[in-house]
């Protein structure tokens, strides 16, 4: 090769090519999807929330990986639908707006503009922008409200009192999924329990179905596992205990170990159980009330020393024994029935509590020494009346049968998943479309009156009173009941923005229609999503909610199938500066804009896809870009210097077909890094041909086409320069023929006792006996055998011959 490009080659200016082709693609609507296409393929990426920060490199990584896949499918002839939008409502944006003293509507509109125009389009995504959604646009949230009304009408949305997570800093209720380790997912404040009337979506109604359907889904295994754990199915029994000495006549507890019932020595009511007062014995009221006031706020660390005897007693349903009733914070008031039977001999926490408060510990399952430590394993039942000697596994069923006979208990399946609280006492969200009538209670806003527009208010900051700032808009709040016309009040809470994002993918195909949420034909043609790729952090939030919504809307007849995503893959995490996710606080955020301005979008895309297996993520390294930058320079030169129309050459055809196969496999399995390696090798090969004056046009075309999903701009330019008509992104993908990729000659490794001692070449497919003969004939092999007899020969065709002496 010469040291500088021949004079007739233009200098490669990647940022200029980005600008040129992005403009032309927009003009020619290259990525506009034929919504009536014969081979629909719905390729989905998680839409971003345009909070104050710009998109960072992690977003670019996520989007590029999906785009490569979508582009590949498009080149293979599918009608690929690759839409994008903005999840612009929510606390993220609102809090930032409060911080900078700007209205969230102004702020998010500006951010959306920047994201779309300066970053997402700049990356060269093959997105059909004509189907963009913005969750803050009334033309979108009108239908979010419609979705809520469908759930309301179906009885899947309920206004009820309940214990809820309250963030004292964000001044709003949070969903369970937004509480991490007892703290607010967003601000880290310790979450408090409050009893408020809230809107619940009955996700638990589909708990079993969603659990069962996981088995049938083609999803990343780790994502399915996270959902399985979150739904948290457990089997056991509900057991009723009669109570004496308090207001309540009885209490029901849940246990997964009914076989240990004979070992129950006391009951514990959750300290945050809303009905705690009803369990308190006469004469204990004041001491219990004082104890309760002195409790520390919800904390992740359980303290078994904390607890109080409530002074009432429970009657054991089988033995008739009197058991003391206690209250303690180690029992959750909101899981199961909010109360437990304590079996200290066979439960870690009950044992600790019993020790701390000198309560009796009884062994009812053999296998350990319950005075020293609790035995939670299986064994034979003892101290259990007629059931003594029964294996504990069988005992579970036997005890349930006995309870059922006495009407004191029954088999029960308990889920850890709880209903989704979707009301938020904040400003920046879609108002829940409900009117509270003194006569009719909560009434849905008639669908014809949608959208319920978010009203202007003087101050959009949260009030902290448990009421949304929307309550300040008196004219807006006071309306007649849609049924009877009585003076009524609008619901002033807005919905959780996970409701906005829970159905956005259903809306994309139907954005052409303003008079319906989901067009029947479009929805039946395009749903479910064929390929969804996104971050694993949404395993139990967005991915659970959207599965619920799809299932509910399917049962109501609005969508064709209950599961929203045919395939889901969780991509890996991009890290920088050691371990951990990129975040502003760690100071390890990379801004993609600078790199695109310097090296062009193709170089960035290529490097991101090369730095590690896409499903596993990898470490960003500033110097890594150089390798791909050099590669694109070499591609630019060698492709334009190929001028031979030769086609029959066996070895170079093999190389070409081998590369097609390698790139196809790498994209289909989302191991983009190995596909790019194969392209490097092909390019080096072509470079050698060009130096010898025989670079083939067919190789140049193939290289350009295979590289196109990763580097869409330079390949489009080269395609044009090669004199090809139309866009490379719409040209038919090169066919690969396995027969033409097969090597006629292979190298056989010869091992003696498993160690490599020689190699020789032979025709592919040489039979085993012939391989053995050839291996023994190798002079080096004879040296190593040194006259020792060969005990065994293991020939493997086209691979290896192992000689055992």
Q: What 3-state class would DSSP assign to 149?
A: helix
- Which CB sits closer to RNA, 293 or 755? 755
Residue range at the interface with RNA (CB under 7 A); choices 70-78, 96-104, 337-345, 441-449? 337-345
Residues 6+ apart with CB under 8 A from 367: 375, 377, 378, 379
Residues 70-109 that bind RNA (CB under 7 A): none
Q: Tell me how far apart the alpha carbons of residues 181 and 192 are, in angstroms, rounded to a whole number.
A: 12
Residue 340 near RNA by CB under 7 A: yes
Q: Tell me how far apart the alpha carbons of residues 694 and 732 are, in angstroms, rounded to a whole number.
A: 25
**Residue 472 burial (C-beta neighbours within 10 Å; 0-12, 13-18, 19+):** middle
Of residues 29, 647, 747, 782, which one binds RNA by CB under 7 A?
747
**Residue 235 burial (C-beta neighbours within 10 Å; 0-12, 13-18, 19+):** exposed
Residue range at the interface with RNA (CB under 7 A); choices 9-17, 90-98, 107-115, 792-800? 792-800
Residue range at the interface with RNA (CB under 7 A); choices 78-86, 310-318, 534-542, 695-703? 534-542
Residue 292 near RNA by CB under 7 A: no
Residues 140-199 that bind RNA (CB under 7 A): 180-182
**Count residues contacting RNA (CB under 7 A)?**
86
- Which CB sits closer to RNA, 84 or 237? 237
Q: Tell me how far apart the alpha carbons of residues 129 and 186 are, in angstroms, rounded to a whole number.
A: 31
Residues 416-435 that bind RNA (CB under 7 A): 416
Residues 349-408 that bind RNA (CB under 7 A): 349
Residues 540-559 that bind RNA (CB under 7 A): 540
- Which CB sits closer to RNA, 282 or 305? 305
474-to-198, 278, 478, 503, 726 alpha-carbon distances in Å: 21, 40, 6, 31, 59
Q: Tell me how far apart the alpha carbons of residues 498 and 133 are, in angstroms, rounded to a whole number.
A: 15
Residues 304-333 that bind RNA (CB under 7 A): 329-332
As measured in angstroms, the least distance from the Cβ of 268 to RNA is 8
- Which CB sits closer to RNA, 81 or 415? 415
In degrees rounded to 5, what are phi and psi of residue 530? -80, -40
Measured from the Cβ of residue 256, the count of other Cβ atoms closer than 10 Å reads 14
- Which CB sits closer to RNA, 137 or 619? 619
Distance of CA 19 to the CA centre of its chain: 33
E strand map for 301-338: 308-315, 322-328
Residues 654-683 that bind RNA (CB under 7 A): 671, 673-674, 676-677, 680-681
Site string for RNA, 624-643 (x = CB under 7 A): x-xxx-xx-xx---------
Give every strand in the sheet of 487-490, ordered side by side. Answer: 441-444, 434-437, 487-490, 478-480
- Which CB sits closer to RNA, 511 or 673? 673
Cα angle at 69 between 510 and 621, to 5 degrees? 125
Residue range at the interface with RNA (CB under 7 A); choices 16-24, 39-47, 343-351, 545-553? 343-351
Q: Tell me how far apart the alpha carbons of residues 764 and 746 are, in angstroms, rounded to a whole number.
A: 5
Residues 6+ apart with CB under 8 A from 585: none
Residue 769 near RNA by CB under 7 A: no
Measured from the Cβ of residue 336, the count of other Cβ atoms closer than 10 Å reads 22
Q: Tell me how far apart the alpha carbons of residues 504 and 500 are, in angstroms, rounded to a whole number.
A: 7
- Which CB sits closer to RNA, 727 or 751? 751
- Which CB sits closer to RNA, 85 or 329? 329
Residues 225-254 that bind RNA (CB under 7 A): 225-226, 229, 232, 234, 236, 254
Site string for RNA, 713-742 (x = CB under 7 A): ------------------------------
- Which CB sits closer to RNA, 272 or 593? 272
Q: DSSP of 656-689, one letter per residue?
A: HHHHHHHHHHHHHTT-HHHHHHHHHHHHHHHHHH
Residue 39 near RNA by CB under 7 A: no
As measured in angstroms, the least distance from the Cβ of 572 to RNA is 8
Of residues 501, 510, 751, 766, which one binds RNA by CB under 7 A?
751
As measured in angstroms, the least distance from the Cβ of 269 to RNA is 9
């Amino acid at each position: 090769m010469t040291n500088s490009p021949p004079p007739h080659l233009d200098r490669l200016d990647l940022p200029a090519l980005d600008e040129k082709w992005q403009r032309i693609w927009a003009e020619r609507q290259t990525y506009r999807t034929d919504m009536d296409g014969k081979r629909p393929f719905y390729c989905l990426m998680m839409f971003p929330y345009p909070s104050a920060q710009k998109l960072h490199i992690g977003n670019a990584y996520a989007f590029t990986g999906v785009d490569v896949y979508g582009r590949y499918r498009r080149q293979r002839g599918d009608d690929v639908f690759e839409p994008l939008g903005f999840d612009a409502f929510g606390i993220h944006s609102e809090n930032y707006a409060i911080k900078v003293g700007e209205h969230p509507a102004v702020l998010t509109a500006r951010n959306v503009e920047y994201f779309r125009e300066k970053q997402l389009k700049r990356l060269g995504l093959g997105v059909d922008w004509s189907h963009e959604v913005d969750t803050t646009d009334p033309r979108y949230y009108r239908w979010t409200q419609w979705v809520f009304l469908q759930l309301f009408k179906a009885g899947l949305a309920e206004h009820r009192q309940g214990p809820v997570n309250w963030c004292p800093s964000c001044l709003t209720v949070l969903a369970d999924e937004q509480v991490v380790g007892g703290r607010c997912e967003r601000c880290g404040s310790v979450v408090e329990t409050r009893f408020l009337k809230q809107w619940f979506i009955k996700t638990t109604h589909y708990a079993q179905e969603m659990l069962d359907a996981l088995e049938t889904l083609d999803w990343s295994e780790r994502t399915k596992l996270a959902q399985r754990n979150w739904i948290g199915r457990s089997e056991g029994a509900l057991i009723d205990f009669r109570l004496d000495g308090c207001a309540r006549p009885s209490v029901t507890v849940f246990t997964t170990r009914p076989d240990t019932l004979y070992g129950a020595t006391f009951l514990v009511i959750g300290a945050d159980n809303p009905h705690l007062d009803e369990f308190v014995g006469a004469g204990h009221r004041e001491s219990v009330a004082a104890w309760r006031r002195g409790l520390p706020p919800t904390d992740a660390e359980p303290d078994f020393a904390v607890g109080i005897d409530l002074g009432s007693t429970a009657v054991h349903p089988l033995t008739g024994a009197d058991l003391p009733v206690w209250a303690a914070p180690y029992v959750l008031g909101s899981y199961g029935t909010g109360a437990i039977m304590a079996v200290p001999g066979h439960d870690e926490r009950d044992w600790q509590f019993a020790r701390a408060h000198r309560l009796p510990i009884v062994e009812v399952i053999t296998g350990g020494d319950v005075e020293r430590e609790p035995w939670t394993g299986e064994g034979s039942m003892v101290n259990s009346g007629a059931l003594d000697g029964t294996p504990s596994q069988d005992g579970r069923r036997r005890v349930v049968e006995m309870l059922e006979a006495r009407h004191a208990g029954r088999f029960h399946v308990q889920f850890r998943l709880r209903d989704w609280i979707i009301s938020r006492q904040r400003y920046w969200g879609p108002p829940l479309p409900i009117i509270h009538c003194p006569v009719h209670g909560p009434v849905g806003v008639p669908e014809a009156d949608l959208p319920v527009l978010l009203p202007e208010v003087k101050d959009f900051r949260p009030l902290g009173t448990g009421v949304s700032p929307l309550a300040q808009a008196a004219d807006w709040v006071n309306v007649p009941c849609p049924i009877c016309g009585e003076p009524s009040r609008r619901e002033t809470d807005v919905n959780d923005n996970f409701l906005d994002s829970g159905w956005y993918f259903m809306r994309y195909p139907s954005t052409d229609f303003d008079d319906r949420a989901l067009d029947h034909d479009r929805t039946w043609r395009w749903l479910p999503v064929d390929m969804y790729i996104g971050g694993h952090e949404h395993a139990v939030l967005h991915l659970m909610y959207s599965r619920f919504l799809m299932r509910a809307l399917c049962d109501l007849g609005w969508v064709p199938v209950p599961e929203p995503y045919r395939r889901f893959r969780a991509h890996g995490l991009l890290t920088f500066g050691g371990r951990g996710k990129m975040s502003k606080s760690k100071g390890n955020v990379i801004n993609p804009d600078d790199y695109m301005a310097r090296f062009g979008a193709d170089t960035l895309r290529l490097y991101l896809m090369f730095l590690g297996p896409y499903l596993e993520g990898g470490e960003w390294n500033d110097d890594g870009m150089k390798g791909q930058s050099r590669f694109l320079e070499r591609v630019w030169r060698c492709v334009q210097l190929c001028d031979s129309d030769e086609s029959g050459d066996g070895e170079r055809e093999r190389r070409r077909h081998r590369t097609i196969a390698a790139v196809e496999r790498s994209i289909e399995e989302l191991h983009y890094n190995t596909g790019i390696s194969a392209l490097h090798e092909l390019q080096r090969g072509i470079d050698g041909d060009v130096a010898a004056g025989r670079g083939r046009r067919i190789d140049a075309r193939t290289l350009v086409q295979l590289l196109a999903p990763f580097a869409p701009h330079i390949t489009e330019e080269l395609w044009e320069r090669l004199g090809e008509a139309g866009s490379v992104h719409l040209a038919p993908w090169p066919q690969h023929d396995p027969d033409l990729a097969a090597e006629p000659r292979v190298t056989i490794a010869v091992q003696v006792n498993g160690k490599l001692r020689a190699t020789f070449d032979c025709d592919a497919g040489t039979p085993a006996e012939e391989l053995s003969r050839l291996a023994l004939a190798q002079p080096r092999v004879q040296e190593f055998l040194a006259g020792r007899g060969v005990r065994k020969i293991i020939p493997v065709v086209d691979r290896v011959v192992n000689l055992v002496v």
